[in-house]
Structure 1
Amino acid sequence: MRILVFANTPAHVHLYRHAVDRLESAGHDVLVLTREYACTTDLLDFFGLPYRRYGRHDTTAPSKPQLARELAEQAGRIVTESVRFRPDVIFGRGPYAALAGTVTRTPVVLVLDDEPGDFNHTVSRPFADCIISPAVTRRDLGDAHYTFDGFKECAYLHPEVFEPDEAVREYLGVDPEEPYALVRFNALDALHDAGLEGFTRDQRRDLLERLGERATVFVSDEGGEMDLQDLPARQYDLHPALIHDAMAEASLLVADTGTMVNEAALLGTPALRFRGTDDHEYGEFRELERVGIAEQFDEYDAVRDRSLELVGDPSASERWERRRREYVGDLVNLTELLVDVAEAGGSLERVDPSVRRSLHPQPRVGTSNRGSSASD
């Protein structure tokens, strides 16, 4: 089979990388279409995935004429590459996957998470043959929408998939028992981040100064704007492919971005999310809070104080790891599911019944489901 995968962000690379490896090992022809954005192509190179670029995404906002020209050029490249590749099934999300499926008359599988509904979903949904999302999703995306018990991060952080690099402390230059914290600052430049604000400049400095008094602090600044010269913190400078290994060994993760909080929680690392001005209720975070492996805060003082409390508590990591073992092992290994759906050409009717049992038709709006009842 010929399988086309869209990986537009670093998170998408992680989502599909094990499935791509498995499919190639089984003799299938796989192509990843991607764009230059953050470390996306760095990750594709690191993991040795077969890819071609269709464009780039800059963090600076282009003018309307520039944006229109860039979108037209990217659409043209996607059409060219898709027609040339002749896929049997397409995986992705948003209008690009929909476009590729339309011009090649190929089944499209959308793998979504619990982000707010937006233009991307509105455009792509009518073209999807199959939509897969976590069971905590609280949206009704139609008859083709199926859910699974887990998170999109289960494709690469499920215990059956993730194998930590035990040398990561050596790479970071920290001692075997030395506590360290990871702090992630969001660039907030994605479409779904429009109008949102996270940590302010003063809050960032205050958090790093206070955490630095209790632990070694590594900063992952997506926007690249933080000057750490006079702060008790170091730039996280390992290859981005090692971030999950570093996260697994950390005593704490604090962030104003969503994905890394999900990841740390599933790895058993105390994970705190500062919501800032984001008042959307995400099903994933509600579920992670319900089982006690992530916490969210609306006020800066609260997240700062909780950070200091946890990083100074030597038993916190053990509690989080115990909760992780009790919860994560029962979740769906999403890589296994993606491989089976791909080999079935995107048709759930052709998926092995044992696999199909892990997928559930999304209840129509107004009926109960796991995500909506977790904290009602």
Structure 2
Amino acid sequence: MRILVLANTPAHVHLYRHAVDRLERAGHDVLVLTREYACTTDLLDYFGIPYRVYGRHETDGYSRLGFVRELGGQFLTIGTEALRFDPDVVFGRGPYAAYAGTFSRAPVVLVLDDEPGDFNHTVSRPFADCIISPAVTRRDLGDAHYTFDGFKECAYLHPEVFEPAGDVREYLDVDPDEPYVIVRFNALDALHDTDLEGFRPEQRRELIERLGEAATVFVSDEGDDLDLRDLPARPYDLHPALIHDAMAEAELLVADTGTMATEAALLGTPAFRYRGTDDHEYGEFRALERAGLAEQFDAYDAVRDRSLEIIADDGASDRWERRRREYVGSLVNLTDLLVAVAESRGSIARLEGEAKRALRPRSHSL
């Protein structure tokens, strides 16, 4: 079989990387189409995943109009590559995957989460043969929509899949018992981030200063515009492939972005997300809050004070790890499911065993 995967962001690489590896080892031919955006191609290189670049994602002065302009030349390349590869099934999301599958006449499998924007869903839904999303998402995308108990991050952070590196503290240059915190600032340059605002500059600085009084602070600044020279913090500068190992060892993750907060929570690390101006209610976060693994805050003072409180709580790490074992261990291993769906050529009717039991028609579960 030939499986084509559209991986447009670092999160997409992590979503599919274990499935790609297993499919290749099973003798299938897998190709990833990607774009130059953030560290996406760095991750593909690190994990040894075969790929071809179809374009770049420009972030300076980004707008919805800019997004539409990007699509023209990129669609031409995607169509050419899809025809040349001649896939049996296409995985991805949004207009990229829909176009690749339609142009190559291959079944399209969309793997979605609870992102706020309607554009991707509206454009791609009519072309999808199968739509898979976590059961906690609240959309009903029609008869082809199936849900599973878990999160898209369960493809790489499920306890059956995630294997922590034992030397990440050495790479970070922190002692075995030294508490450290990771602070993540979002660039807010994706389509669904348009017009959103997270931590303000003065809030970023104060947060780092206060956290630095209690723990070593590593800052992951997606926009790369924060000067740390006079702040008690270090830039997080390990290879991006090691971020989950670093989060798993951290005492706390504070962020104004969704993906890393979800990842930290699934790893059993207290995950605090500052919503800023984002008023979208994410089904994933509501589930993680109920499980006691993540917390969201509408006010900056609240997330700052709660962060300082949890760092001073000697029992927090054990509580979060216990919650992780109880909750995350019961979720679906999404890599197993993706492999099964790929080998069924996107046909849910052909699934058997655990894979068939893991998926439920969305319209029947509302």
Q: TM-score, normalised by structure 2?
A: 0.98
Q: CA deviation at 1:264?
A: 0.4
- The equivalent of 2:295 in structure 1 is 295
Seen in structure 2, the aligned counterparts of structure 1 residues 64 and 118 have a Cα distance that, compared at 3 Å, is closer
Instruction: Write out aligned runs for 1:67-82 (5 A).
Output: 70-82=70-82
Quote how far apart the aligned CAs of 1:355 are. 1.4
Say which SS state the counterpart of residue 363 (structure 1) adopts. helix
Partner of 1:235: 235
How far apart, in 2, do the equivalents of 1:292 and 1:226 lie?
Answer: 31
Q: Structure 1 residue 133 and structure 2 residue 133: aligned? A: yes
Which digits, 9 at most, give the CA deviation of each residue in 1:192-242, with x for residues without a partner?
011110000000000000000000000000000110000000000000000
Matched with 2:337 is 337
How far apart in 2 are the matches of 1:288 and 1:125? Answer: 27
- 3-state secondary structure, aligned to 2:213: coil
Aligned equivalents of 2:275, 2:114: Cα separation in 1: 15
In the TM superposition, 1:199-218 aligns within 5 A as: 199-218=199-218
Deviations 1:230-267 (A, max 9, x none): 00000000000000000000000000000001000000
Q: Distance in 2 between matches of 1:64 and 1:337?
A: 33
Structure 1 pair 64/326, CA: closer, same or farther in 2 (3 Å)? closer
Shift of the 118–63 alpha-carbon distance from structure 1 to 2, 3 Å rule, reads closer
Question: Which 5+ residue runs of structure 1 have no aligned equivalent?
Answer: 369-376
- Aligned-pair distance for 1:66? 6.9
In structure 2, what residue type is equivalent to 1:119? F
C-alpha distance in structure 1 between counterparts of 2:284 and 2:64, whole Å? 34
In structure 1, how many angstroms separate the alpha carbons of the residues matched to 2:64 and 2:296? Answer: 36
In structure 2, stretches of 5+ residues that fail to align are none
Tell me how far apart the structure 2 counterparts of residues 63 and 263 of structure 1 sit (CA, whole Å): 27
State the match for 2:123 in structure 1.
Answer: 123
Report the equivalent of 2:29.
Answer: 29
Question: 1: distance between equivalents of 2:65 and 2:133?
Answer: 35
The secondary structure found in structure 1 opposite 2:203 is: helix
Equivalents in 2 of 1:62, 1:259: separation in Å?
20
- Quote the Cα distance in structure 2 between the aligned partners of 1:63 and 1:266: 32
Partner of 2:40: 40
Aligned-pair CA distance for 1:70: 3.4
Report the RMSD for the aligned CA atoms in angstroms: 1.3
Distance between the aligned counterparts of 1:178 and 1:153, measured in 2?
28
Question: Structure 1 residues 122 and 220 mapped into 2: Cα distance closer, same or farther (>3 Å)?
Answer: same
* Percentage of matched positions with identical amino acids: 77
Distance across 2 between alignment mates of 1:93 and 1:66: 19
SS in 1 for 2:358: coil
Aligned to 2:12, the other structure's residue is in SS state helix
Task: State the TM-score, normalizing by the size of structure 1.
Answer: 0.95
CA distance in 2: counterparts of 1:330 and 1:119, whole angstroms: 32
Q: For residues 3-54 of structure 1, what are the alpha-carbon distances to aligned partners after superposition, in whole Å with 9 as ceiling and x for unaligned?
A: 0000000000000000000000000000000000000000000000000000
Match of 1:372 in 2: none
Give the distance between the partners of 1:63 and 1:302, measured in 2 at CA: 31
Counterpart residue number, 2:168: 168
Counterpart for residue 186 of structure 1: 186
Cα distance between partner residues in 1 of 2:226 and 2:202? 11
| TM-fit CA distance, 1:353 | 3.4
Alpha carbons of structure 1 residues 62 and 256: separation in structure 2 relative to 1, 3 Å: closer
Indicate the SS of the match to 2:139. Answer: coil
2:139, 2:314 → 1: CA distance? 40
Amino acid at match of 1:280: H
Q: 1:286–1:80: structure 2 CA closer, same or farther, 3 Å change rule?
A: same
- CA distance 1:68–1:294, shift in 2 (3 Å): closer
Instruction: Tell me how far apart the structure 1 counterparts of residues 139 and 70 of structure 2 sit (CA, whole Å).
Output: 31
Structure-2 residue corresponding to 1:353: 353
- Extract structure 1 runs of 4+ deviating beyond 6 A: 63-66
Q: Structure 2 CA distance, aligned partners of 1:182 and 1:247?
A: 7
1:259-304 CA-to-partner distances (Å, cap 9, x unmatched) read 0010000000010000001011100000000010000000000000
Structure 1 distance, partners of 2:142, 2:70, is: 31
Question: Take 2:95 and 2:236, find their aligned partners in 1: how far apart are those partners?
Answer: 34
**Cα offset for 1:117?**
4.1
CA distance in 2, matches of 1:294, 1:271: 5
Matches within 5 A, 1:213-362: 213-362=213-362
> 1: CA distance between counterparts of 2:319 and 2:2?
45
Cα drift, residue 61 of structure 1: 2.6
